[in-house]
Amino acid sequence: AQTVTQSQPEMSVQEAETVTLSCTYDTSENNYYLFWYKQPPSRQMILVIRQEAYKQQNATENRFSVNFQKAAKSFSLKISDSQLGDTAMYFCAPPETGNQFYFGTGTSLTVIP
């Protein structure tokens, strides 16, 4: 069975600052995808960023970037220049196993004005 760990239940960051959310996972696969999703107060799940395991380069989407360490099975999300709209729950989605998706427990991020 696969596992995913988000060790930070809650975090806060000052507006315009940088914050990093951690995620570790376990998998026996070699080629896979990893995702970070955010869930704002509206509860709509939104894809933040995707990383393909076979790519050594870390994925970047505007202010969002990942630090992907395949050997360590670590997939952290860095948010730069934090904005109030970044306040949300952030979920790490580990490699899909057997056509099933399991999310981490989530990190509640609050951006402080």
Partner 1 sequence: GAVVSQHPSRVICKSGTSVKIECRSLDFQATTMFWYRQFPKKSLMLMATSNEGSKATYEQGVEKDKFLINHASLTLSTLTVTSAHPEDSSFYICSARNIFSYEQYFGPGTRLTVT
Tokens of 43: 């509860």
* Stretch 46-75 residues interacting with partner 1 (CB under 8 A): 46-47, 50
CB of 47 to partner 1, least distance (A): 6
CA–CA distance, 3 with 85 (Å, rounded to integer): 29
Q: Out of 36, 68, 75, 91, point to the residue binding partner 1 (CB under 8 A).
A: 91
* Stretch 14-33 residues interacting with partner 1 (CB under 8 A): 33
Q: Binding of partner 1 at residue 100 (CB under 8 A)?
A: yes
Strand ranges for the chain from DSSP E = 3-5, 10-14, 19-21, 24-26, 33-39, 46-52, 60-61, 64-69, 74-79, 88-93, 107-112
Contact residues toward partner 1 (CB under 8 A) are 33, 35, 37, 42-47, 50, 91, 93, 96, 99-106, 108
